[in-house]
Structure 1
Amino acid sequence: MKLAILDRDGTLGTAGPADAGWAALPGALEAVARLNRAGWHVVLATNQPGLALGELGMAELNALHASMHRALGAVGARIEAVFYCPHGPEEGCGCRQPAPGLLRQIGERYGAEPHETWVIGSSADHLQAGAQLGAHLHLVCEQTAATLQAGQPLPAEFPPQVRAHASLGQLVASLLPQDDLPPPA
């Protein structure tokens, strides 16, 4: 089994204000489609403190995720499940990243061992949670991590075993052989 746990914002896409919705990052949806075709399970793990703070309602969060799922489906990709922490930073829960609780729930649900799990994100919190799990750690240097570069030293808040990539597409290209691509039409 291969399980990819993606952070949503800055890795797969961007979430703007409730009226702006969700927008995919260039090549990210196609990267998820490649993982799907190669037999990977792909899920999201995301902190959603706006729910606890009253800045975001469940209807808005569901609408954002529905928009994301439609965009994925349009390119033949799918996210199997969305796991989120609804707590604010001050609540001290075990599911808010960098705590590993949310990622542990995902691993248990899928029956995945840490060595079968790739935690992929653009934030130190997401990758710190993955480090506590013992997963493979991959940084996508877009959005919140746009000032970082693959091949350069990372700031101290990132676990030392993190591998950095310019984009989700480049990460997936490094993981999968080229022969998983469909033949040209």
Structure 2
Amino acid sequence: MNRPSAVLFDRDDTLVEDVPYNGDPERVRPMPGAREALRMLRDHGIPVGVVSNQSGIGRGLLTEAAVRNVNARVDALLGPLDTWVHCPHVPEDGCGCRKPRPGLVLEAARRLGVRAAECVVIGDIGADMGAARAAGATGVLVPTARTLPEEVASAPCVCPDLLTAVRHVLGDHLRSLRRLS
């Protein structure tokens, strides 16, 4: 894998613990390794962003402001991310942005000024991998208790945790730097 132009993360159960339909910033808890993983990417000059389905908005369980407040808490705990893109729709809306469709990945790449094909998407479920594939990006799955066995089996790359996933993404780049020193 070449050095990515950007790394895009799913939010819930990837960067932070999943609290269903969370609108309370005080309930945000980073996933193990999240701070270090983001620091490593920033140290290598790689922009980072979040692509997240937030159907609680479409279901009337969350407001846009509540999602922005939770995202701001994630930024405060993990350091600012370079872009945030979310889908407020319910699955039945059939929008182009809801993962596994490519809209969130394409929009995040556009905002970061990179090609989607040069991005890596790190997430915990098949919809994250589907969005990466649909956008032409590279997917890396970090399974959790809710990841289905068939999602693991069909993922292009599976890593046991977030830090390992980022080390994998940086792997070729880090090896080439070691050869130069």
In the superposition, the TM-score normalised over structure 1's length comes to: 0.81
| CA distance in structure 1 between the partners assigned to 2:155 and 2:56 by the alignment | 30
Equivalent position SS for 1:67: helix
Structure 1 stretches of 4+ moved >3 Å: 17-20, 157-161
1:132–1:31 Cα change, 3 Å = same
d(CA) in 1 for partners of 2:162 and 2:67?
Answer: 23
| Residue identity in the other structure for 2:82 | E
In the superposition, relative to structure 1, how do residues 109 and 10 fare at CA in structure 2: closer, same or farther (>3 Å)? Answer: same
**Is contact 1:131–1:159 with CA below 8 Å preserved after alignment?**
no
Helix, strand or coil at the partner of 2:104: helix
Extract unaligned runs of 5+ from structure 2: none
Q: Residues 141 and 155 of structure 2 are in contact (CA less than 8 Å); yes or no, is this contact kept in structure 1?
A: no
Question: Which of 163, 170, 174 is the matching residue for 2:168?
Answer: 174
Do residues 18 (structure 1) and 23 (structure 2) align? yes
In structure 1, what residue type is equivalent to 2:128?
A: H
Q: Check 1:50–1:118 CA distance in 2 against 1; reply closer, same or farther (3 A cut).
A: same
* Structural RMSD (CA): 2.3
Q: Do the aligned partners of 1:4 and 1:40 also contact (CA within 8 Å) in 2?
A: yes
Corresponding residue number in structure 2 for 1:116: 118
Q: Is the partner of 1:144 in helix, strand or coil?
A: coil
Cα drift, residue 110 of structure 1: 2.5
TM-score (normalizing by structure 2): 0.83
Once residues 48 and 120 of structure 1 are traced to their aligned partners in structure 2, the CA distance between those partners, rounded to angstroms, is: 17
Contact kept, 8 Å, 2:120 with 2:140, in 1: the verdict is yes
Of the three residues 38, 42, 45, the one matched with 2:51 is 45
Q: Answer 1 or 2: which has greater strand percent.
A: 1
Tell me the number of residue pairs that the alignment of Structure 1 and Structure 2 aligns.
Answer: 168
User: Percent of pairs identical after alignment?
Assistant: 31
Note the residue ranges of structure 1 that are not aligned, 5 or more in a row: 148-153, 181-185
Which residue, out of 144, 147, 152, partners 2:146? 144
